[in-house]
Amino acid sequence: MPDAALALENAALRQQLAAYRQTSKRPEPRTGDRVFWVALRGLWPDWTRALVIVKPETVIRWHRRGFRIFWRRKSSRRPIGRPRISQEQIAFMRRISGDHPGWAEDRIVEELAARFGVEHAGSTIRSYLAPRHGPPGETRPGAASSATPPRRSGPATS
């Protein structure tokens, strides 16, 4: 038996002996005991040979439960969907679009990036702009308009 395997078996037996000394009745594995056995399962292929206080299926169940808890916590930290735009940024977009009516969405995107360190799409900016008070059909300079036909590339056909 290699020295590493012997050392792992010795550690496993000592751990179980310590668990037995904690109580006079049947030992109840604590969190540290569970972590020890789950880690030992990954390090030592012959871990079931030294296991006495619980069944090997129990250690596998602990590992699966820990895996589920880990991924549930990891995935619940992130909110679902797009990140919300703060009211401060919305107020800034409305103020700056009213103060500078000639600015298109791309210029406001640059200002937001410089001031808040965030990047929003032009379509997002457009939905928060201050209302325009001008003739109907007039768009901001530089902004795309649905009334403008797309440019054709290539030779014109008649």
Domain boundaries along the sequence of the chain: 3-76, 87-128
Higher pLDDT pick, 140 / 73: 73
Tokens representing residue 40 in the block: 């030992």
In b/e form, how buried is each residue of 119-144, taking b as 16+ CB within 10 angstroms? ebeeeebbebbeeeeeeeeeebeeee
Q: Looking at the predicted structure, is the pLDDT value of residue 68 above 90?
A: yes
Find the mean pLDDT for residues 100-108: 87
Reported confidence tier of residue 136, pLDDT bands at 50, 70, 90 = low
Q: What is the pLDDT of residue 137?
A: 58
CA 58/CA 6 separation, integer angstroms = 23
H/E stretch holding 79 reads: none
* pLDDT, tens digit (0-9, with 9 covering 90-100), for 83-99: 788 999 999 988 988 88
CA 5/CA 44 separation, integer angstroms = 7
Tokens representing residue 142 in the block: 């530089």
Tokens representing residue 6 in the block: 């012997």
* Coil, helix or strand at residue 117: coil
Cα atoms found within 13 Å of the Cα of residue 77, Cβ hemisphere only? 5
Reported confidence tier of residue 67, pLDDT bands at 50, 70, 90 = very high
Higher pLDDT pick, 86 / 158: 86
Q: What is the pLDDT of residue 62?
A: 93
The CA R_g of the chain, rounded to the nearest whole Å, is 33
Q: Looking at the predicted structure, is the pLDDT value of residue 140 above 60?
A: no
Note if the pTM is more than 0.85.
no
The residue among 135, 131, 125 whose CA lies nearest residue 104 is: 125
Find the mean pLDDT for residues 41-56: 87
